[in-house]
């Protein structure tokens, strides 16, 4: 076909024959339910995630469309790929489905927010009485639409679940692998900051697939780089101090939140846990907590290198002018001064190998897996897969910090439900 013939096809519009089959619920939030779904297109099947929107409020529909427009433009190995929006006529959906979506309250959502690991998913390996969402042939019975954001399915876990699984076993993620995961989020943020500020960096929004690839997700409250939003956004425990004071967000806001994540997975301690109470009481508590200078991680646990501790402390400096301005700079320091300062260090493959061994409770390690993890070798030249989270593994100052944070996972592990 001649080149000029292609020009005549520009703007050609056509419908697809794709259908979506809901497999199961994998999470929920204040705005709706997140489903795993099979996408079928002329005999080709793939897995995607559908993020539903429970409300018909024009304001929230506009927010979802804004998220879709931001997220679909982000193409990076360490960011979950978003494909766009789907809209289904509400009246053509079964009452069991619409009732489930509409029944999600904001209070229930905050209690039950989760993204869990899905293991062994196989095409067609679920209840045959499944719901298939198709484009209707007849005029809809209800002119309202259910909006769904379509995203790539990441088979694996999130950093929050991974961290809590470790603590439940009396462990913490090995220091090099924790630093590696944070460095990958730095790379994701460095790329995203060219167009937006995430504003909701937290362990739950950092996914790790089974191959060890770390991916930042959920740009639902992201703002464009030129926007100056001063409303509360994100989770209080990870919110930068300037956000609490209703100051404009910039790249340093995300760097701070990521630094709090780093502190948590390195030490086991969430610096600013949110207590029960009203939102105003929670904000006041977190403000008071942030007014206290945090203890450097290497003084909490002796197995954290001082140079890594310094990088984390620069990420969470209360004064934004002393914080890393760019996530790229934090990532460079992590890679050059910590991860690869001595040569061989963590890779996607090594994190994937560790996750496989962690799932197997470190049984049956192969030579190839241990080769990927040889940076975990100690002075005795043996590879140490277990990084224990026992009382004796913390300094006295670190234990004092944990005692002042009742209700947190590490406090429960050490003082409420200690291992038998």
pLDDT number for residue 223: 60
Q: Give me the active site residues, please.
A: 200
Q: Are 369 and 360 in contact (CB under 8 A)?
A: no
The helix or strand, by DSSP H or E, that contains position 28, with its residue range, turns out to be strand 19-29
Alpha helices in 113-174 (DSSP H): 159-168
388-412 CB burial, b ≥16 within 10 A, e <16: ebeeebbeeebbebbeebeebbbbe
Inter-axis angle of helices 348-359 and 175-192, to 10 degrees? 130
pLDDT digits (tens, 9 = 90+) for 332-372: 999 999 999 988 899 999 999 999 999 999 999 999 999 99
pLDDT digits (tens, 9 = 90+) for 210-257: 999 999 998 766 665 445 454 555 678 898 888 877 778 889 999 999
pLDDT digits (tens, 9 = 90+) for 313-335: 999 999 999 999 999 999 999 99
pTM of the complete model: 0.86
What's domain 19-152's superfamily in CATH?
Phosphorylase Kinase; domain 1 (3.30.200.20)
Q: What ranges do the domains of the chain cover?
A: 19-152, 157-416
- What class is the 157-416 domain? mainly alpha
Measure the CA–CA gap between 309 and 313, rounded to whole angstroms.
6
Q: Reply yes or no on whether the pLDDT at 305 is more than 90.
A: yes
Measure the CA–CA gap between 341 and 335, rounded to whole angstroms.
7
Tokens of 256: 């701070």
Binned at pLDDT 50, 70 and 90, residue 120 comes out as very low
- β-strand partners of 52: 148
């Amino acid at each position: 076909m001649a080149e000029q013939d292609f020009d005549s096809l520009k703007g050609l519009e056509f419908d697809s024959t794709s259908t979506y089959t809901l497999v199961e619920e994998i999470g929920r939030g204040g705005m709706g339910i997140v489903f795993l779904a099979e996408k079928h297109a002329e005999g080709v099947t793939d897995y995607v995630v559908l993020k539903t929107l429970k409300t018909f409020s024009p304001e929230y529909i506009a927010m979802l469309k804004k998220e879709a427009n931001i997220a679909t433009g982000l193409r990076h190995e360490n960011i979950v790929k978003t494909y766009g929006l789907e809209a289904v006529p509400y009246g053509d959906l079964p009452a069991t489905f619409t009732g489930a979506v509409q029944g999600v309250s904001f209070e229930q959502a905050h209690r039950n927010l989760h993204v869990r690991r899905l293991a062994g998913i196989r095409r067609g390996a679920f209840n045959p009485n499944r719901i298939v969402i198709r484009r209707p042939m007849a005029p809809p019975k209800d002119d309202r639409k259910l909006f769904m954001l379509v995203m790539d399915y990441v088979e694996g876990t999130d950093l929050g679940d991974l961290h809590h699984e470790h603590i439940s076993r009396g462990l913490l993620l090995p220091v090099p692998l924790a630093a590696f995961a944070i460095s990958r989020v730095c790379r994701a943020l460095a790329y995203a900051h060219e167009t937006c500020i995430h504003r909701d960096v937290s362990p739950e929004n950092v996914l790790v697939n089974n191959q060890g690839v770390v991916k930042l997700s959920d740009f639902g409250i992201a703002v464009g780089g030129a926007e100056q939003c001063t409303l509360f956004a994100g989770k209080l425990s990870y919110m930068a101090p300037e956000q609490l004071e209703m100051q404009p967000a910039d790249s340093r806001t995300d760097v701070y939140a990521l630094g709090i994540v780093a502190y948590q997975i390195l030490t086991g301690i969430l610096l600013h846990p949110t207590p029960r109470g009203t939102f105003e009481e929670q904000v006041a508590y977190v403000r008071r907590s942030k007014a206290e200078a945090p203890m450097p991680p290497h003084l909490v646990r002796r197995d954290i290198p001082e140079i890594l501790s310094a990088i984390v402390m620069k990420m969470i400096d209360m004064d934004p002018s002393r914080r890393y301005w760019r996530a790229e700079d934090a990532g460079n320091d992590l890679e050059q001064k910590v991860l690869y300062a001595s040569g061989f260090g963590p890779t996607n493959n090594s994190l994937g190998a560790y996750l496989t061994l962690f799932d197997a409770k470190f049984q049956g390690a192969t030579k190839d897996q241990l080769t990927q993890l040889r940076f975990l070798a100690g002075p005795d030249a043996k590879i140490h897969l277990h990084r224990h989270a026992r009382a004796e593994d913390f300094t006295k100052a670190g234990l004092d910090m944990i005692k002042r944070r009742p209700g947190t996972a590490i406090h429960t592990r050490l003082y409420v439900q200690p291992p038998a």
